[in-house]
Amino acid sequence: MKNTLKYTFLSALFLGVVACDVDNNLPEIKGEAENTIALVAGTADFSNYVAVGASFTAGFSDGALFKAGQEYSFPNTLAKKFAMVGGGTFTQPLMNDNIGGMVNGGTKALDPRFYFNALTGKPERLTSIPTTVVGAPATNAPNFTNYGIPGAKSFHFVAPGYGSAAGLAAVPPTANPYFVRMSPAQSTLIAEIASKQPTFFTLSEIGGNDVLDYAVAGGASGSITPTAVFNQAFGAIINTLAPTADKKGVVANIPYITSLPHFTTVPYKPLSPTNPDFGPQIPTLNRVFSAINGVFTAIGVPERSIVFSTTAASAVVIKDESLDPKTNEIVGALLASPTFPAFVASFGLPTDTATLQKVAGLLGSYYGQARQATAEDLLVLPSSGIIGTVNQNSVNFLLGQGLPPTLAGMFSAEGVSLPLENKWVLTKTEVAEIKAATDAYNTTIKAAADAKGLAFVDFKAILEKASTTGLVFDEFNMTTTFVTGGLVSLDGIHLTSRGYALMANKMLEAIDATYGSNFTKAKDGLAKAKDFPTNFSPTLQ
């Protein structure tokens, strides 16, 4: 078997795509009369609008925060509409450039944004060096009204020192570089927001980051914020923004982040028999796994059997840490099998006792918690560049165990002969944990919005529709399809500028329904899809 097996899923998927903005055009509606209805604010007072949230509120897009993305943020779009009915000045902590990311001591501390490379057919990061410096105050600090802080979790809003420059040097850091740029005068994020005395607010994405770190790491690191901790933090936030019944604002819940393309783009069955590096090796792979499969059946876990099809795409092999380890059972069954020496000999290895024990131990170690992925498992987007590649650490380990280079490479193909590590896969158990936490957070969010009489946006339902039938936005049908759907940006998690405009319109709809304004009916009351891009040129820096 070759030790250079490679499966480049993204390149195959995006080959020939030359632009991100390829939304499906809907039939043009002609003959519509000019709208002359004047805007009214209803009972809302937009004179001092403050936006509160995380990366969506900030305008984070394409894997970074950059100036153009911020200018297309949904709060900035809302502020422009509010200005038409008495809204005041809205100020954002703009980054220094359109590269995105930050530098610290001349070294990149946060990565630049993605752009779509038509030559390679996939998103890539800009190679330019950012000019925004970690710890340096943003222009106009501290006079801001957009408090969208990328990376902020619910409890960070009440954490002392979250905006302190000294906290950036702590291990681990106790401050957020985006909030530090805002040079806050108060000790906590929520106190800083309260000091701006908003007459109207938007509150969204609270809880998203509380599950995101765990999700993007495939459940291998990070943790999900306990519901009790979230409830306490969210209560403090909402009570600060709306301490009395006369305070007005919009609250949005959070979607299942597992519906985003970061988790839905890479199929669980990406291994095609027509792939010239994989297909010819299927018989050998199946012969190898037949020995393990026999053990799985004998010890009562036949569902873990690994078989690659010669006629259809096959699922990758993963390590599922929720499974009962069967290492010892595999080792014992192999050593007790009368056919095991012949199996070992077929690879050109000696069949002395020491070698047999070593090979059985390696097979037990590698496949003790292995199984093929199912439709209930989600492969994270970066796994697309890993599947089928040879893991050099595995090769070096096997060489150290005395295996020849050919065999070491044969048993080190990611997701094929070497089970994918937990960080590349959200198992169905981990997906369920994320959804359970999201449901609990959303119950708290909706109850608080109802109790305070605030406008509410069901962002969870909106994203679910986008991931199934799509969302009609003027002449475009917005979906969550990676790169081409128009809604989600090139990082697979955050929205495009057009997606944020659609989010702004959903909030305006909720404001109309709750406070008697008429943004959805009046002239120029809503954002227009054509005014917002879905991608940015790499030359925009």
Are 225 and 284 within one domain? no
363 and 448 assigned to the same domain:
no
**Start-to-end C-alpha separation, the chain:** 46
Q: Which DSSP symbol is given to 64?
A: B
Residue 59 domain flag: yes
The whole-angstrom separation of Cα 141 and Cα 56 is 21
Both structure tokens of 132: 């925004």
| Same domain flag for 247 and 289 | no
pLDDT for the residue numbered 26: 53
CATH of the domain at 191: 3.40.50.1110
The answer to whether the beta carbons of residues 222 and 213 sit under 8 Å apart is yes
Whether residue 125 lies inside any domain: the answer is yes
Which of 407, 426, 445 corresponds to the end of one domain? 426
| pLDDT value, residue 11 | 43
Q: Are residue 343 and residue 220 in the same domain, yes or no?
A: no
Check whether residue 449 and residue 404 sit in a common domain: no
**What is the structure's pLDDT at 18?**
38
| Of 395, 426, 457, the domain-final residue | 426
Same domain, 411 and 452: no
On whether residue 212 sits in a domain, the answer given is yes
DSSP result, 286-309: HHHHHHHHHHHHHTT-GGG-----
Q: How far apart are CA 163 and CA 182, in angstroms?
A: 8
Domain final residue, candidates 371, 394, 426? 426
- pLDDT tens, the chain, 541 aa long: 444 444 444 444 443 343 444 455 555 555 567 888 999 999 999 999 999 999 999 999 999 999 999 999 999 999 999 999 999 999 999 999 999 999 998 899 999 999 999 999 999 999 999 999 999 999 999 999 999 999 999 999 999 999 999 999 999 999 999 999 999 999 999 999 999 999 999 999 999 999 999 999 999 998 999 999 999 999 999 999 999 989 999 999 999 999 999 999 999 999 999 999 999 999 999 998 999 999 999 999 999 999 999 999 999 999 999 999 999 999 999 999 999 999 999 999 999 999 999 999 999 999 999 999 999 999 999 999 999 999 999 999 999 999 999 999 999 999 999 999 999 999 999 999 999 999 999 999 999 999 999 999 999 999 999 999 999 999 999 999 999 999 999 999 999 999 999 999 999 999 999 999 999 999 999 999 999 999 999 999 9
Q: 32 in a domain, yes or no?
A: no
Closest C-alpha to 336, from 317, 352, 316, 360 = 360
Residue 457's DSSP bridge partners are 252
Residue 420 sits in the same domain as residue 448? no
Predicted local confidence at residue 27, as pLDDT: 55
Strand segments (E) across 335-402: 370-372, 378-379
| pLDDT at site 6 | 45
Domain membership of residue 40 (yes or no) is: no
Torsion, Cα 84 88 94 97, to 10 degrees, reads 40
| 300 burial level (CB within 10 Å; 0-12, 13-18, 19+) | exposed
Torsions phi, psi for 177 (to 5 deg): -60, -30
Two tokens, residue 146: 């957009």
Report which secondary-structure segment, H or E, holds 51.
Answer: strand 49-53
Cα–Cα distance for residue pair 317/496, rounded to 1 Å: 33
My answer on whether 335 and 354 are in the same domain is yes
pLDDT recorded at residue 35? 84
Residue 34, domain member (yes or no): no
Q: Per the structure, how many domains does the chain have?
A: 2
Same domain, 293 and 146: no
Q: Is residue 271 part of a domain?
A: no
How far is residue 473's CA from residue 462's CA, in Å, rounded to a whole number? 12
Whether 38 maps to a domain, the answer reads no
> Do residue 221 and residue 106 come from a single domain?
yes
115: left (phi over 0), alpha (psi -120 to 50) or beta: beta
Provide the residue range defining the domain that includes 454: 9-27+46-265+427-531
- Report the C-alpha gap between 47 and 200 in whole angstroms: 8
Pair 439, 323 in one domain: no
Enter the tokens of residue 247: 């305070």
Co-location of 440 and 407 in the same domain: no
